[in-house]
Amino acid sequence: MPEMHFHIRWPDGRREACYSPSLVVKDFLTPGESYALDDFVAKTRTALNIASERVREKYGFACSSALDQVARIEAAAKRQAPDGQVTVESFEP
């Protein structure tokens, strides 16, 4: 299963490399695009849950790394201005 990282910039300017065990994130996010904070959280939550389920289908267990990434994104989002924009800077295979 191909994994990937997607690099983002939070509204406060902090950059972060996020992990996905699947390329499904490419169906939800576009490099160079900015997303409203709530929209970004919702899109990544959906994508990473799909990715975790793909791992479950293949290996018989959910991907804890994907679920941990969702938790990190949700926690970081709570520290941002609610009207902020998250920019997806790049994808890394």
DSSP SS3 for 82: coil
What whole-number percentage of the chain has pLDDT above 70?
99
Q: What angle do CA 73, 10, 66 make, to 5 degrees?
A: 25
The reported pLDDT for the residue numbered 93 is: 85
| Structural domain containing residue 87 | 4-92
Residue of 41, 8, 10, 4 lying closest to 26 (CA atoms): 4
Domains held by the chain: number: 1
> Is 48 exposed, middle or buried, given 0-12, 13-18 or 19+ CB atoms closer than 10 A?
buried
Mean pLDDT over 21-31 rounds to 97
Query: Torsion over CA of 22, 90, 7 and 38, rounded to 10 degrees?
Result: -80
pLDDT tens readout for residues 45-76: 999 999 999 999 999 999 999 999 999 999 99
pLDDT bracket for residue 92 (50, 70, 90): very high
**Residue 1 scores a pLDDT above 80:** no
Six token digits for residue 85: 């924009």
